[in-house]
Amino acid sequence: MPRKPMPRFKLTLEYDGAPFVGWQRQTNGLSVQEVIETALEALCGERVRIRGAGRTDTGVHALGQVAHADLSKDWRADVLRDGLNAHMRPQPVAILSAACVPNTFDARFSAIRRHYLYRIINRRAPLTVERGHVWLVKRKLNASAMQAAAGVLLGCHDFSTFRASQCQAESPVRTLERLDVVRNGEEIHILASARSFLHNQVRSIVGSLEHVGSGKWSIMDMRAALDARDRRRCGMVAPPEGLYLAKVDYGPPPVV
């Protein structure tokens, strides 16, 4: 008789990335993955490895990261959520929801779209309550020029200019479905959506958009940087503290 598969749970979570070395377990410090797996072991009495939808870097935050875990017990979703949150205190990680899902669900490979938010505070005064959670840019930025330059990057392109030198993706080609620049007072939001992103792609794009907003680059400079397919033509890489993994979309489960 075939063995019944272990129940699989989808975890949706948020975290402040400031104290962590990133999402993925590493030997040089505490990661978000390690915090959750330690809580799972304390709650469930078993060692569990989780898989996340995206590997956020050191200092990057999440509003809607998704992970999945296979557990031996069929937990009630709200009990699992609350139990994990209790065991993760005082770390700035919170399970927003837990749900039992089919074993065909994979937090990374079942994702059809990832949404990122980058936050800029554009003012002369230093940061106080937002320190560590936004990028402070003191030079006046033209958000309309940044939006126009963002349009150059929409669609399917070779994004070699905007990928980290250590990026392990097999291809630099990605389809950027959304790239919007929205100003609200002194805060500028940059919203990016795609099925997947290259390592440091969003932060590289944001840094280059800052060059356009400050007048250092023109829209044609952005086009030339994209067409060059050369990392050396990228603008500065925006700091990690302004970046948030905002949401991950999933399609309907496959018919089995």
Q: Which positions are catalytic?
A: 57
Distance separating alpha carbons of residues 208 and 223, to the nearest angstrom: 11
CA distances (Å), 227 to each of 8, 31, 199, 201, 242, in order? 44, 36, 19, 15, 27
* Tokens encoding 4: 């019944």
On whether the CB atoms of residues 138 and 214 are closer than 8 A, the answer is no
CA 158 to chain centre: 20
Distance separating alpha carbons of residues 164 and 198, to the nearest angstrom: 8
Specify the pairing of strand 8-15 against strand 93-101: antiparallel
Judged by phi (left if over 0) then psi (alpha if -120 to 50, else beta), residue 231 lies in: alpha
- Structure letter (DSSP) for residue 247: E
Burial class (CB in 10 A: 0-12, 13-18, 19+), 238: buried
**66 pairs with which residues across the strands?**
12
CA 11 to chain centre: 15
